[in-house]
Every structure is written in C-alpha cells, then in structure tokens.
Amino acid sequence: MSCEVAVAYGTLRVSGEMTIYHAEAMKAGVLGALMGEARVSAIDLSAVSEFDTSGLQVLLVARRLGEDRGTPLKLVNASSAVEETARLLGMGAGFDVAPTAGEA
C-alpha cells in the first residue's frame, strides 16, 4: 500500500503508509495538495497505517509551508501508528495533534 492524499472541506486526508518506502510520492502528494487551489487548514492522519521519520519530515515541511502561506495547519486524528512514532521520538504533546477534525 502506498500513501494517498485527498482534499475535502479544507482537510487533507492522508491514508496508507507515510514511510521512507513511499517518501517521494508522499511528499509530492501532500505538498502538491497544499499548493493547489483548495485552501487546506488541517491534515487528518486517522488513516495512516505506518509512520516513520520520513512521514514526520513531510508533516513538518507541510506545517512550515502552511505558515509561510498564512494558513497554519492543524494535525488532527492521529492514528495509533502516528501516536506510537511520536511517543518513541519523545514528541508526545509537543507534536500537537488535535483529537478531532472538528477542533481544527
């Protein structure tokens, strides 16, 4: 399975594997969606099945891009894979993932 992205109602939904094995496609998909016509204010991570530091790098670049474009991004609905990697990296609450898209 690869990483797929879709934008609906201001939320970019990422599904599949956000890992080194799909880094190029993942980065192109996420950053391409953010630079597209749709105004994105949140990234929904609920359907991410695998997550590593490559996925984290893409999310950090995405957040910076949002800030640079005047649209701060919220990370919402972290899957257990995202939560586990953040915990292992000692990021915990500092990773700043909102529990639901409604809070974005």
pLDDT of the chain, 104 residues: tens digit per residue:
567 778 888 899 999 999 999 988 999 989 998 888 778 889 999 999 999 999 999 999 999 998 898 888 898 999 999 999 988 888 765 466 665 544 44
Domain topology for 4-103: Transcription Regulator spoIIAA (3.30.750)
pTM flag (> 0.85) = no
Q: Are 62 and 31 in contact (CB under 8 A)?
A: yes
